[in-house]
Amino acid sequence: MLRIKMYPARNGDSFLVEAAGAFILIDAGFASTFQDFVKTDLASLSRDGSRLALVVCTHIDADHIGGLLEFFSSNGPEPHRIVAVDRVWHNSLRSMPLPPSGEEGVEGKLVLEALRRRGFGGPAAQGPISARQGSSLARLLWQYGYRWNEGDGTTCICQDQQPLALSEEVSVEVVGPSRARLESLRSVWLKEVAKLGYKGGEASADLLDDAYEMWCATLPQLQEPKARMVSANSNLRLTDIYAPDQSPANGSSIAVIITSAGVRALFLGDAWAEDTVARLQAAKPATGPILFDVIKVAHHGSYHNTSPEMLATVDAPCFLISTDGSRHGHPDFEVLAEIVDRPAPFERRLIFNYETAGAQRLRAHASRSGTPFSVHIADTNWISIGCKTQ
């Protein structure tokens, strides 16, 4: 069995997974998410003699990384940590090393200050995440000596790596990103900081990690298409409106499959649908979709990250949708409808962590295939994911 806590992270993501006694934290929403919800549970784990086997920062976006910055700032060095952490997966600039070519210099400091003035994540982040200015997650992991990306943080987490075995029963497989997506994000970053006046070297020093993470945290809100009003035309289907995500930060999102004694969970972060489909189709059976026991829907149910091809490739009896609906109109109803309209030999549960317009509308929807489904609003208790999908 596998258990999941889906925290109320406003328009962000935060999940605590228990897999056969191994605990995995995937994102931590905003700083307030960590302080109000996650911190108490981690302290409880520690008192019970447990530890975090893995912490995953899916990508550098304020609604995913903000709470992790708060966690690692307060968790500090050994031996007085809130909870012990075995390893952390996080792709920062340091994880994509570049040839050293000089010091950052005055220009680098000016770039960092320019990015600070923009704020870390903008208004949705409940104020700038800057109580400890200059402390990127990369710098905190380095400073406090965490096992980072299976070493010192100078390699990236991407599709190239072998599944990580946390025990004989539990493994974590990286579905994305590809190395090419990470390199693309880095290239965009280098062009942007050049516009801000950075003329120093490309070495992945602390200063550049700080500036890189601050810039990435503002990138998605600058590039994501404007919010689309829920369509008044109830006949619109996902095929009518789907448009691929173009945000390089979302394209860098770490997506994983957690397997626990045969139970499989697919956590998609904010990953691009095309990348996920390409990775999974190599293992696709001859007929029908790949079945998981639970799927965390990508990017809060955005119609830019769940494609018709994605839903032809994967299915599950349980779907998790994390958002309060406060930004961009997430989740998009057409995504929810397409999930439940497909024929299946099982009933689907769609679990939301907030009562959203999409959830309300879905309750009144009749599946086109007649496949039964139910809508649930989670609290902060464990969600049990049962026996192996057949």
Summarize pLDDT for 205-226 with one digit per residue, the tens: 666 777 788 777 766 444 444 4
- Does this model's pTM top 0.85? My answer is yes
Confirm whether 390 is domain-assigned.
no
- The pLDDT of residue 247 is 86
- The pLDDT of residue 39 is 96
| Tally of domains in the chain | 1
- The pLDDT of residue 319 is 98
Mean of pLDDT values over 356-371? 95
pLDDT at 359 over 70: yes
DSSP state of 269: T
Element housing 333 (H / E): helix 333-341
Confirm whether 66 is domain-assigned.
yes
Confirm whether 9 is domain-assigned.
yes
- 33 is in which domain, residue-wise? 2-385
**Measured distance CA(312)–CA(290) in Å, rounded:** 9
The set of residues, in sequence order, having a beta carbon less than 8 Å from that of 156 and lying 6+ positions away, is 91, 95, 96, 149, 179, 182
DSSP percent split of the chain into helix, strand, coil, nearest 5 = 35, 20, 45
Confirm whether 326 is domain-assigned.
yes
* 92 closest CA partner among 146, 44, 35, 29: 146
pLDDT band at 125 (very low <50, low <70, confident <90, very high): very low
- The pLDDT of residue 371 is 97
pLDDT (tens digit per residue) in 131-176: 344 468 988 998 899 999 999 998 999 999 999 999 999 999 999 9
First-to-last alpha carbon distance for the chain, in angstroms, is 14
pLDDT at 78 over 80: no
**Measured distance CA(248)–CA(261) in Å, rounded:** 35
**Domain harbouring 187, CATH code:** 3.60.15.10
Confirm whether 32 is domain-assigned.
yes
* Residues in a beta bridge with 290: 314
For the beta carbon of residue 181, count every other beta carbon within 10 angstroms: 22
Mean of pLDDT values over 221-244? 65
Mean of pLDDT values over 245-255? 91
Amino acid found at 274: E
Confirm whether 167 is domain-assigned.
yes
E strands, the chain, in order: 2-6, 14-19, 22-28, 52-56, 88-89, 164-165, 170-176, 255-260, 263-267, 290-291, 294-296, 314-315, 318-321, 348-352, 373-377, 383-385
Confirm whether 35 is domain-assigned.
yes
